[in-house]
Amino acid sequence: MTTIIECSGIELRASSDSGNPEPLLKINTFTMKQSEQAAIMGPSGSGKSTLLHLLAGLIKPNNGSIQLLGQAIHALSEKERDHFRGANIGYIFQQFHLFPHLTALENIMMQHIITSRLSAREAKEKAQFLLDKVRLSHRVHYRAGMLSRGEQQRVAIARALFHEPKIILADEPTGNLDSKTGLDIMTYLIELCREAGQTLLVVTHDEQIGSLFSRVEHMQKLNEAYYPITEIKQ
């Protein structure tokens, strides 16, 4: 199976006025194969979101290599990383980040305006197809702000899948939802990614969500720079 994510010797330091920047993240190796699905769990502040930001190319490591789909993204400029992300990564946030005054359909079509590879008609058909996939065909023309939080997250998932990215990164996608809705949403996401052969990496605090994944990485083990506050106090 093709390797999709390959990180080695990653180091990220906080910028500091003291001239002695503290290490935030030190990850020896982290890899994921095509179609693989994994959850990242760990205490608050252990670097889970920071790892996703590195993988999405939102920030660059101080040292180390991040290869996504065979491309060394740590060596790209910010503009090149933006382009790479737009073409290959779907990012799902805890806070959904939808436009509340636009309909579910329009929120997904916004992706079309950014990538503009399809005609408006094709984009509309695809957005409708995706809303059907996340079982929201009855809410296509509802404004996002009028939808329940679970429905809003399903729109956000459909939006993230629109450009058929090879990699889906999700940062606490169920963190704003009650546990039943959260489990339902994660089950959709897992199924959709499996069908499409996408690599899925999900940050979660929730043990039940974690139990849906056969691979669970614990940030305390992954991140050598992380020292639990309790140990420091002792």
Ligand X SMILES: Nc1ncnc2c1ncn2[C@@H]1O[C@H](COP(=O)(O)OP(=O)(O)OP(=O)(O)O)[C@@H](O)[C@H]1O
156 touches 176 (CB < 8 A): no
- DSSP assigned state of 213: -
Q: Which of 18, 20, 44, 77 binds ligand X (CB under 6 A)?
A: 44
Instruction: Check residue 210 for interaction with ligand X (CB under 6 A).
Output: no
Binding segment for ligand X (CB under 6 A), chosen from 41-49, 74-82, 85-93, 158-166, is 41-49
* Least distance from ligand X to the Cβ atom of residue 50, Å: 3
What is the per-residue binding string for ligand X in 12-31, x denoting contact by CB under 6 A?
--x---------x-------
User: Which 48-77 positions form the footprint of ligand X (CB under 6 A)?
Assistant: 48-50
* Least distance from ligand X to the Cβ atom of residue 56, Å: 13
Pairwise CA distance, residues 136 & 118, whole Å: 22
Q: Which of 4, 30, 36, 46 binds ligand X (CB under 6 A)?
A: 46
Place of tokens 């994921």: 32
* Least distance from ligand X to the Cβ atom of residue 20, Å: 13
Write out the two tokens for 84.
Answer: 């790479």
Place of tokens 């939006």: 159
Q: Which of 7, 37, 47, 213 binds ligand X (CB under 6 A)?
A: 47
Place of tokens 């670097």: 47
| CA 124 to the chain's CA centroid | 24
Q: Which of 2, 28, 33, 45 binds ligand X (CB under 6 A)?
A: 45
* Least distance from ligand X to the Cβ atom of residue 67, Å: 21
Instruction: Check residue 110 for interaction with ligand X (CB under 6 A).
Output: no
Place of tokens 């404004």: 143
Instruction: Check residue 128 for interaction with ligand X (CB under 6 A).
Output: no
Pairwise CA distance, residues 55 & 53, whole Å: 5
Contact partners, residue 44, CB within 8 Å, separation at least 6: 205
Pairwise CA distance, residues 218 & 214, whole Å: 13
Residues in the site for ligand X, rule: CB under 6 A? 14, 24, 42, 44-50
